[in-house]
Amino acid sequence: MEPSTRDFEKLGVFYLGRERDMESGTTTSQPVLYDSKDLTTHAVVVGMTGSGKTGLCIGLLEEAGIDRIPSIVIDPKGDIANLLLTFPDLSVEEFQPWVDIGEAGREGKSPEEFAASEAARWKKGLADWDQDGERIRRLRDTVEMRVYTPGSSAGRPLTILKSFNAPGKEVLDDSDLFRERVTSAASGLLALLGIDADPIRSREHILISQILNTAWQKGKDLDLGKLIGEIQSPPFQTVGIMEVDTFYPAKDRMDLAMTMNNLLASPSFASWMEGEPLNIKSLLHTPEGKPCISILSIAHLNDAERMFFVTILLTEVLAWIRTQSGTSSLRAILCMDEIFGFFPPIKNPPCKQPMLTLLKQARAYGLGLVLATQNPVDLDYKGLGNTGTWFLGRLQTERDKARVIEGLEGAAAQTGLSFDRARMDQILAGLGKRVFLMNNVNEDQPVVFETRWAMSYLRGPMTRQEIQRLVPKMETPLATTRSQAVPVEVEQKEILKPAPPVATASKPEGATADRQANSRQLIPAIISQRFVEPDRRLRAGETMEYRPALYGRGRVHFVKSAYDTDLWEERMFLKLVRNDELPNEIWDRATPLAARLDVVTEQDGEATFQNVPDCLLAAKNYKTWEKELKEFLYRGQSLGLFRFRELKMTSSPGETEGEFRVRLETALSELRDRETEKLREQYAAKFQKLRDEIKQAEARHDKETAQYKSRRMESVLTVGWSFMKAVMGRRTRGAASVKSVGQASRDRQDMINAEAKSDQLQDKFRDMEVEFKNAMSQLATKLDSGRVELEPIEIPPRKSDISVEEMLVAWIPWFVSADGTKEPAWEMHR
C-alpha cells in the first residue's frame, strides 16, 4: 500500500492496527488497512484467553460502523456489549458508572480516582493510535447500537416463538434452501426440548418436519399452539408409505405434545414469548435506513436454548440473503464471538448446516461472516476452507498451533496459493498479546500487526443487570408480529366494558329488535354484501355480532416512462357506519386497507346484526359512491417514490425511504469499490514509474558519490606527491595535479546534480501522494451514502384507467362473550 493510504478515515477500509516488526519486537508506524470488500470471503479470529481476540473483533465492528456497514453480533460471553460503552467526551463522569469497583479496591483507589485513571488511560491510548473523542462521536452518530436478550427482558426482548412463519417465495422456490429451513426449524425446536434428534432416524424430527413442510407449502403460518394441535392430529394420513398411527402412535404423539405444552406453559419460558419479532431487516437497519449494530446477548441462556436460538437466527439470515440482490461489496456482517460447540469437526448440531451454507453462499450477497474462538481444535476446519482471512493470535498449545496451520493449508489449497508451513510455524510461535498474524488470500503475503486501541471501553463481560442498566427501556410498545394491525374504528375501552343487551333472532323484542336481528335480510338483492371472516372461531359461550360497513375497491394505473414506472395497483377503503347516515366526502373519512377483505357469502353460524342505515339500503347511492370513489382515487391517490439523480435510481413501489436508502447504500458501495480500484490501478502505474526513476537516480547518486570520493582521494594524493617532490628538489608535473583537481571538481558537481535529481523525484513522489490522497478523499465524499439527498416524487394515476371493481356492504364480525363483553373478531391491516 502507498504511504498516502495512512489516512485511515476513507470509506471502504478498516483501520485494524499497525505492522509489527517480529525481529525487533517493535510496532512500526505503518498502519494496517483492511479492504472491507475482502470480508465478503469471511474471517476467522483465533486466539487464547488474553490474546486480544475480542478487542480485535470489537475494533473491526467499530470500523464497519463508521463505514455505515450494519452488523448482527451473536455474543455468547457478554463481551461485545462493551460496544455501547463509547464515551466521546472521555470524561470521568462517563467512565465512573462502568469501572470495576473490585479492581479499584485492589489498586487502593476510590471509584472516582479509578475512573479518572481509566479515562486518562483511554484518552492516551486513543491518541497513541491517532484517534480521539471525535472519532467516537462519529461512530455513535453513524450507527444505532442495540443489545437484545432473547428469553430475557434485561435488554431489548426478542421473540422467535410467536410463530413459525411460512417462508417467502424466494425460499419456497429454492428446494434445497426450503428443505434446510424445515430441517433447521425442527432440529432447533427439538434441541430446546432436550431431544437429540437425527433428521433421518428420529420420529419426532420427521413428524415435525412433515407438519412444517405441509403448512409452509400452503403458505400457512404456525405458532407453537397450532403445532401442538397438529402433533396430536396431523394434517396428513401417511408418513412415507405408513399410516401416521403406525409410524407414530397417538399415545406417543400425545407425550410429545405434552412435553412441548409443558415448555410453553412454564413461567420461566414466558419471556420467550415477549418482545420484538425476529426480523433480519430490522436488526440491520432502522425504519429510516440508519445502519445498526445489533448485539444478541445469549450468555444468560442454557446450552439447549443457545443452540435453538442460533439455529433459528442463522436460518432466518439464510432466508434474508435470498431476498437480496448480488453484490461484490460488503453489505453486512454476521459476527459470532465464540463458536465453540456450534461448529464442531465431527458432530452435526442443528446450527451447523445453516452455518456451512452461509459460509458457501453468503459472499455472493455481500454478507461477511466473522467467527471467533479460543478453542481451535474444536472447529471444523474443512468447513472453514471457504474463509479468506485468518486472524491468528497467541495460541495455548502446540496442538492448537498444528490445527490452525492445518486450517490455513486447507484455505490456501482452496485458492491455489502456495503455503510456507515452516515460516508460518515460526511466526505463530512469536506472537504476543494484541499481536496477530493476518493471512488474507486477497493480499500477496501475511502481515503481523498489533491491534489498535479500541474506541469502546473494554471493561469485561456484562451481566444481565448491567445490560439492564445500559439499555434504556423502550417508551413505545413492543412491535407485534402483525404490524399495523388495528381494530376497525374502535377504542380499546369498548373491548373491556359490557355491551348493552342485544336482541337475537331467536328472542325478538318488538319491531326495532326484529329489524336489528334480521337487517341482513332487509338489504335488497341488487346490493352486494359479504361477511368478513373472523380471525378465529367462536369459543364456548360466545356469539357473533355483525356491524355494517361500506367497502370500495378501485384499480389505478401509475405510468411515468421517465422513472421506468408502469404499475397497476388496487386501492381498498372501508368505512364503518356508526350512525344512520354516512357523512359527506365518505372516502376521505374511510380507512385505507393494505389488502382485499377475506370475505364469504354466508355468516358464521348464529349471529345478530346491528341496524342498517337507510342510505345503505338505497341502490342508487352506490352509483354515486362509485363516481365519488373514482374522483377520490384521481385527486387523492398518488404513487410516492424517491429519486437519486446522481445514480439515476428510483425507489420501487411500496419501498419505504429507509429501504430505498439501504438499497442505495449498497449501490454506492459497489460504485465506490469499483472507482477506488480504478484509482488505485491508475496511480499504481504512476507510483511504480516514479519508484523506478527514484531507484535509478539513487543508484546514479551512489555511483557519482563513490566516483567523486575516489577522484578526490586521487587528487589529494597527486597534489601531496607533487608537493613532496617539490620539497625534495625534484621536478614535478603540475599539469597532472591541476587536471586531477579539475576532474574531482567535475565529479563533485555530477554528484550534486544526481542528488538534486533524486530529491526532485522524491518531491514529485510526495506531491503524487498528496494528489492520490485528495482524489481518494473526493471520491469518498462523493459516494458517501450518509450525505445522500433524495428527491421525493409523486406520480398521479392516469384518469382514463381508473375503475371501481367492488362496492358493497361488508359485515364486520365482533365476538360477544356470555357476560356481554364485545371485542373485534377481525383486525384490518393498513
Q: Kindly report, residue by residue over 275-305, the tens digit of the pLDDT.
A: 888 899 999 999 999 999 999 999 999 998 8
Indicate whether 548 and 680 sit together in one domain: no
When mean pLDDT is compared over 7-11, 64-68, 195-199, 688-692, the highest value belongs to 64-68
**What is the crossing angle of helices 657-727 and 734-782, to 10°?**
170
When mean pLDDT is compared over 8-12, 679-683, 745-749, the highest value belongs to 679-683
pLDDT per residue as tens digits for the range 543-595: 899 999 999 999 999 999 888 889 999 999 998 877 666 777 889 889 999 88
Indicate whether 610 and 722 sit together in one domain: no
Within-domain flag for 540: yes
Q: Is residue 805 over pLDDT 90?
A: yes
pLDDT per residue as tens digits for the range 605-657: 678 888 888 888 889 999 999 999 999 999 988 999 999 988 889 998 888 99
**Would you place residue 490 in the very low, low, confident or very high pLDDT band (cuts 50, 70, 90)?**
very low
What confidence score (pLDDT) does residue 792 get? 92
Indicate whether 536 and 666 sit together in one domain: no
DSSP letters for 221-238 = -B-HHHHHHHHHS-SSSE
When mean pLDDT is compared over 216-225, 399-408, 487-496, the highest value belongs to 216-225
Indicate whether 525 and 624 sit together in one domain: yes
Q: Which one of 277, 311, 340 terminates a domain? A: 277
Provide the sign of the torsion angle of the four alpha carbons 347, 349, 351, 353, taken in this order.
Answer: positive
What confidence score (pLDDT) does residue 745 get? 74
What confidence score (pLDDT) does residue 720 get? 55
| Lowest-pLDDT range of 180-194, 594-608, 660-674 | 594-608
Q: Is residue 63 packed enough to be buried (19+ CB in 10 Å), middle (13-18) or exposed (0-12)?
A: buried
Query: How far apart (Å, rounded) are the C-alpha atoms in residues 809 and 613?
Result: 11
Angle subtended at Cα 570 by Cα 565 and Cα 576, rounded to the nearest 5 degrees: 145
CA dihedral 440, 443, 447, 450 (to 10 degrees): -70
User: 9 or 55, which is more confident?
Assistant: 55
Indicate whether 676 and 625 sit together in one domain: no
- Mean residue pLDDT of the chain comes to 83
pLDDT per residue as tens digits for the range 8-25: 666 788 999 999 998 888
Q: Residue 76: which of 372, 321, 283 has the closest Cα?
A: 372
Element of type H or E holding 359 = helix 352-361
Q: Is residue 511 over pLDDT 70?
A: no
Within-domain flag for 337: no
Q: Which one of 225, 249, 277 terminates a domain? A: 277
User: Which residues, 6+ apart, have CB-to-CB distance to 795 below 8 Å?
Assistant: 558, 559, 560, 563, 565, 638, 639, 640, 641
Within-domain flag for 712: yes
Element of type H or E holding 586 = helix 586-589
Q: Is residue 491 over pLDDT 50?
A: no
Look at strands 71-75 and 332-336 and give their pairing. Answer: parallel
User: 762 or 489, which is more confident?
Assistant: 762
User: 724 or 42, which is more confident?
Assistant: 42
CA distances (Å), 239 to each of 171, 196, 204, 245, 433, in order?
23, 21, 12, 9, 57
Q: Residue 180: which of 212, 149, 203 has the closest Cα?
A: 212
User: 742 or 170, which is more confident?
Assistant: 170
In the block, which residue shows the cell 463522569? 93
What confidence score (pLDDT) does residue 282 get? 94
What confidence score (pLDDT) does residue 472 get? 65
Indicate whether 622 and 514 sit together in one domain: yes
Indicate whether 616 and 725 sit together in one domain: no
User: Which residues, 6+ apart, have CB-to-CB distance to 482 below 8 Å?
Assistant: 827, 829
Q: Is residue 368 over pLDDT 70?
A: yes
Q: Is residue 396 over pLDDT 70?
A: yes
Q: Is residue 491 packed enough to be buried (19+ CB in 10 Å), middle (13-18) or exposed (0-12)?
A: exposed
Which residues constitute the domain of residue 196? 161-277
User: 53 or 511, which is more confident?
Assistant: 53
Indicate whether 662 and 728 sit together in one domain: yes
- Total tally of structural domains belonging to the chain: 3
**Would you place residue 477 in the very low, low, confident or very high pLDDT band (cuts 50, 70, 90)?**
very low
Q: Which one of 257, 277, 297 terminates a domain? A: 277
Query: How far apart (Å, rounded) are the C-alpha atoms in residues 433 and 706?
Result: 46
Within-domain flag for 403: no
Within-domain flag for 25: no
Q: Is residue 164 packed enough to be buried (19+ CB in 10 Å), middle (13-18) or exposed (0-12)?
A: buried
Query: How far apart (Å, rounded) are the C-alpha atoms in residues 391 and 448?
Result: 9
Indicate whether 502 and 534 sit together in one domain: yes
Share of the chain above pLDDT 70, in %: 85
Q: Determine phi and psi for 508, rounding to 5 degrees.
A: -70, 145
Within-domain flag for 294: no
pLDDT per residue as tens digits for the range 416-469: 666 777 778 878 888 889 999 999 988 878 899 999 999 999 998 998 889 988
Within-domain flag for 151: no
What confidence score (pLDDT) does residue 3 get? 38
Cell numbers describing residue 10: 476513507
What confidence score (pLDDT) does residue 359 get? 93
Q: Is residue 504 over pLDDT 70?
A: no
What letter does residue 157 receive in the DSSP assignment?
Answer: -
Q: What is the mean predicted confidence (pLDDT) over 131-151? A: 94
- Given a contact cutoff of 8 angstroms between Cβ atoms, the answer to whether 572 and 595 are in contact is yes
Indicate whether 498 and 633 sit together in one domain: yes
Q: Is residue 798 over pLDDT 90?
A: yes
Within-domain flag for 438: no
Q: Is residue 510 over pLDDT 50?
A: no
Query: How far apart (Å, rounded) are the C-alpha atoms in residues 278 and 96?
Result: 34
Indicate whether 823 and 750 sit together in one domain: no
Element of type H or E holding 136 = helix 133-142
Cell numbers describing residue 718: 597527486
Indicate whether 730 and 604 sit together in one domain: no
**Would you place residue 31 in the very low, low, confident or very high pLDDT band (cuts 50, 70, 90)?**
very high
